[in-house]
Amino acid sequence: MSELLSSLLQDARVWQGHQHRKTTQPAESTGYQVLDNQLGGLGWPRGALSECLLDTCGIGELHLVLPLMQRVSQEGKTIFWLNPPHTPYAPALAREGVSLDHLVMINTRDQDDFLWTLENCLRSPVTGLVLAWPGRLASRDIRRLQLASEAGGNVCVLFRSRREVDQNSPAALRLELVPGEHQDLQVNIIKRRGSWPGQLCSLALGHRADRAIKESSQVVQGPWSGVDR
């Protein structure tokens, strides 16, 4: 019994409020060093769900995942977009080095269809990244998706309303996103594996050194083709 208890305490998924434990879970860099530092030098967890909680779309949330989209598509892995609120502006994504050959957008009919599609995307061996806009989710649905994410071993980012910030969620990483000044994005770490919440950082999305993102503001701001969902 003592060996089992010790093993559980070594698991970064078991949160221990009195101490910080460095996690060795696989992860992908966010592409923003200041945020990676707040995430224990890691980034987006692989084989687990991440949640970005925001009030409205177009505040910089796609800039946040843009470096990962670049890497995943260039590695030949598929990026799935499920129920995005707008149609992505393909020329801007291509300008930023995202291979459109590896980008698939899916719009589902209803919630059951959405959950089934997302679960299968997460389990697919061709998947590198899943970006999904699920609307309301029950805790049991999030647990179902977490199991699928663990099976697939890829990165999944759910964009959800800030109204869900108090929901009990098994997601490994939960980030609250708030627009700042001068194209900044304020990121509040609500939850991450192996450590306590509450870290806050500001990302200057318009001044990334490695990419001139300001030239492709249409990636997140539009005007995008298509209509609002």
Domain boundaries, the chain: 26-221
- 3-state SS, 183-205, equals CEEEEEEEEECCCCCCCEEEEEH
CB-based contact 100:124 (threshold 8 Å): no
For residue 190, the tally of other CB atoms under 10 A from its CB is: 18
Q: Please, what is the average pLDDT of the chain?
A: 82
Confidence of residue 12 (pLDDT cuts 50, 70, 90): very low
Residues recorded for the chain: 229
Q: Which residues pair with residue 64 across a beta bridge?
A: none
Q: Per residue in 113-148, pLDDT tens?
A: 999 999 999 999 999 999 999 988 998 999 999 999
CB-based contact 80:127 (threshold 8 Å): yes
What are φ and ψ of residue 27, in 5° steps? -155, 165
Whether domain 26-221 has CATH 3.40.50.300: the reply is yes
Q: Residue 70: is its pLDDT beyond 80?
A: yes
Comparing 213 with 83, the larger pLDDT belongs to 83
